[in-house]
Structure 1
Amino acid sequence: MRIVVDLNRCQGYAQCVYLAHEVFRLSGQEALTYEPNPDDERLLQVERAAAACPVQAIVIDRLDGAKRGEAS
Structure 2
Amino acid sequence: MKIVVDAGKCQNHGQCAISAPTNFELTAGGELQYQESFDEENIADIEDAIDACPLQAIFLNQDARD
Tell me the TM-score normalised to structure 1 length.
Answer: 0.80
How many pairs were matched up?
Answer: 64
1:33 aligns with 2:33: yes
Tell me the TM-score normalised to structure 2 length.
Answer: 0.86
Query: For residue 66 of structure 1, what is the aligned residue in structure 2?
Result: none
Distance (whole Å) between structure 1 residues aligned to residue 56 and residue 19 of structure 2: 15
Query: For residue 10 of structure 1, what is the aligned residue in structure 2?
Result: 10
User: Any stretches of 5+ residues in structure 2 without a counterpart?
Assistant: none
- Aligned ranges for residues 1-72 of structure 1 at < 5 Å? 1-63=1-63
The Cα offsets for residues 9-40 of structure 1, whole Å up to 9 and x where unpaired, read as 11111000001000001113321110101111
Higher relative contact order (CA 8 A, sep 6+): 2
- Post-superposition offset of 1:61: 2.6
Distance (whole Å) between structure 2 residues aligned to residue 28 and residue 50 of structure 1: 22
User: Any stretches of 5+ residues in structure 1 without a counterpart?
Assistant: 64-72
Q: 4+ residue stretches of structure 1 with deviation over 2 A? A: none
- Percent identity between matched residues is 38
Query: For residue 69 of structure 1, what is the aligned residue in structure 2?
Result: none
